[in-house]
Amino acid sequence: MAGIPIKIRGLEKRFAANRVLRGVDLDIPAGKVTVLMGANGAGKSTLVKIICGLYEADAGEVFLNDEPFAPNTPSAALQAGIVTVHQNINDGVVPDLDVASNLMLDWLANPKSAPLLNPRRIRKSAEEIAAKLDLNFDMNSMVSDLTLADRQLVAIARAMAHSPKMMILDEPTSSLSAAEAERLFRLVEKLRESGVAILYISHRMSDIRRVADRIVSMRDGTIVGKYETAPLDYEGAVNDMLGHTMTDVNITVQAPGEKVLELTDVKLKPESQPINLTAHRNEVIAITGLVGVGKTQLSEVLFGQMAAAGGKVQLNGKPYAPNSARDAINQGVFLCAKDRGTNGVVQDFDINRNITLPFLSSLSSFGFVRRNAEYKITNAAIDKLGIVCQGANDEIGTLSGGNQQKVMVGRWLSHECDVLILDEPFQGVDIAARRDIGTKLRETAKDRATIVLVAELDEALEIADRILVMAEFTIVGEHKNEHVDVDLILEQVSGAAAAKDQQKQKEGAAR
């Protein structure tokens, strides 16, 4: 395979009055990783959905190996060798099936396979697919029992079974640990070497620097920049994407107010080390660490979704042990949960109802929702966070991923609280939207304690007054966000600092 398998010429797409694609011209060459960058609403997702058969273009053409290509279903695109791994992990797996069935799902769905169904053959074929990614899952495990990161790997492995001509990866590392991401990068390198055309959509500069052969910047529905000469101009690509020069974020650390939340010897697991943490009003705390170190479990303890294995929590000086999410909300603790597709947005609701859903009881009189009050809150959230939409009654599914994330953050900023916890609020969000959300969180932080859980260190540095590092289900480092020793934080994130401390203790004991 060589040359340019995918050529896009003059592609147009409109939704009502919104012109999403405006004459897109793009080549995606074989054996290269083309990174597509664009702010939320730039048209990236619409472009991908046309290529993979979810949308029909209004004008223009897509060519596959110089032949007109207009798949009318994702299945048709798949059969032609166009494989997409979507950002929403559950679009690529069936949680109620086991791993083997998920890996062989497209084969099982083919009517021609029915006479050949053999459990042993299915399992063996699934194991061969998994081996290509060095996956060692129990093939009988239910996908619903896997972690979010493992589900992502199953979705990618399933896609690999098709020997693709072109693979589209949409924010593929957003739920992966560093080790899992590195495994994915090695796979991308193999695909590149075998001549597959790869379209890689990401907002993470660490990903882009790791995999990109070329960068294409998209803005307002059209291609505005192409970078193909080494060394790639990453800053230029970002500036093209945004339409202006991106300046560094300068944090002025705020003086903390009164103590709101206090954790004393809290254990997330019986065998883990205790967590001691105090959060104050007018303070934004970022807790960073690798995927799977306990950040989400900490949020679940504070939001009444999981019981701690030990220790105590106080809220405003009083014992705090919520027995449900509703109980936590009633006591003034809000959580913007990780993975908006599963835990956040309600796809059947519009923007208005998605924002006001947790607070409808306070907006109701005699069982009837006060519509004026409801829309006042929603419209304020749209203005406050710059949500790109036609209006409050737009269906949530019509928004870009970044604007859906703004809706989720806007939901929890729409009412006052004592503690606001946000678990990966920048997941799948571009740099500009990330800055918008971060700025609004800091502007509104005066009367509450804000705790932001992030895996990316640059996200922590952009938003926090104080940065805590988590590893092995406990806090292993604390840093005021002034003159930060980034190398030390990275050592603590990886566990290297803890190992050094243990070695020093051993050496001291020996002396």
In tens, the pLDDT along 251-270 reads: 888 899 999 999 999 999 99
Supply the DSSP string of 95-145, one letter for each residue.
Answer: TTSBHHHHHTHHHHTSGGGGGG--HHHHHHHHHHHHHHTT----TTSBGGG
pLDDT of 139 higher than 50: yes
Mean pLDDT along residues 141-145: 89
The per-residue pLDDT for 470 is: 92
Radius of gyration of the chain (CA): 24
Q: Which of the two residues, 114 and 505, has the higher pLDDT score? A: 114
Residue with tokens 């054996």, as numbered in its chain: 31
Written as six digits, the tokens of 502 are: 């243990």
Written as six digits, the tokens of 15 are: 């939704």
CB 173 within 8 A of CB 181: yes
The per-residue pLDDT for 117 is: 64
pLDDT of 106 higher than 80: no
Residue with tokens 């105090």, as numbered in its chain: 278
- pLDDT band for position 304 (cuts 50, 70, 90): very high
The per-residue pLDDT for 506 is: 40
The per-residue pLDDT for 266 is: 96
- pLDDT band for position 87 (cuts 50, 70, 90): low
pTM: 0.59
CA distance linking residue 53 with residue 95, whole number of Å = 23
What residues contact residue 492 under an 8 Å CB cut-off, 6+ apart? 469, 471, 476, 477, 498
In tens, the pLDDT along 442-501 reads: 999 999 999 999 877 778 888 999 999 998 899 999 999 988 888 788 788 866 555 444
CB 159 within 8 A of CB 84: yes
The per-residue pLDDT for 307 is: 93
Q: Which of the two residues, 296 and 190, has the higher pLDDT score? A: 296
Instruction: Count the alpha carbons within 13 Å of 93 in the hemisphere toward its beta carbon.
Output: 28
- pLDDT band for position 107 (cuts 50, 70, 90): confident
Query: How does DSSP classify residue 395?
Result: B
CA nearest neighbour of 140 among 161, 126, 121: 126
β-pairing verdict for 449-454 and 275-280 = unpaired
What are the strands, taking DSSP E only, across 188-324?
A: 197-201, 214-219, 222-227, 259-267, 275-280, 283-288, 310-315, 318-319
Domains in the chain, start-ordered, CATH in brackets?
6-242 (3.40.50.300), 257-332+417-510 (3.40.50.300), 345-415 (no CATH)
The per-residue pLDDT for 331 is: 95
For residue 347, how many other CB atoms are within 10 A of its CB? 10
The per-residue pLDDT for 508 is: 45
Written as six digits, the tokens of 108 are: 């099982």
CA distance linking residue 180 with residue 427, whole number of Å = 17
The per-residue pLDDT for 511 is: 44
For residue 42, how many other CB atoms are within 10 A of its CB? 27
Q: Which long-range contacts (CB under 8 A, 24 or more apart) does 128-137 make?
A: 129/103, 129/104, 129/157, 129/158, 129/160, 129/161, 130/99, 130/103, 130/157, 132/157, 132/160, 132/187, 133/157, 133/160, 133/183, 133/187, 134/183, 137/99
CA distance linking residue 466 with residue 478, whole number of Å = 7
Q: Which of the two residues, 170 and 34, has the higher pLDDT score? A: 34
CA distance linking residue 332 with residue 321, whole number of Å = 12
CB 412 within 8 A of CB 253: no
The per-residue pLDDT for 478 is: 95
CB 149 within 8 A of CB 290: no
Mean pLDDT along residues 369-398: 83
Q: Among 61-65, 282-286, 399-403, name the one with the lowest average pLDDT.
A: 399-403
CA distance linking residue 179 with residue 414, whole number of Å = 37
The per-residue pLDDT for 444 is: 92
Instruction: Count the alpha carbons within 13 Å of 12 in the hemisphere toward its beta carbon.
Output: 8
In tens, the pLDDT along 2-31 reads: 689 999 999 999 987 778 899 999 999 999
Q: Which of the two residues, 72 and 164, has the higher pLDDT score? A: 72
The per-residue pLDDT for 389 is: 83
Is the bond preceding residue 319 a cis peptide, omega within 30 degrees?
Answer: no
Average pLDDT score, the chain: 84
The per-residue pLDDT for 494 is: 65
Angle formed by the axes of helices 148-160 and 178-193, to 10°?
A: 10
* Strands of the sheet with 474-480, listed across from one edge: 333-336, 419-423, 449-454, 283-288, 466-471, 474-480
- pLDDT band for position 40 (cuts 50, 70, 90): low
Mapping DSSP onto H, E and C, the string for 319-361 reads ECCCCCHHHHHHCCEEEECCCHHHHCCCCCCEHHHHHHHHHHH
Q: Which of the two residues, 335 and 248, has the higher pLDDT score? A: 335
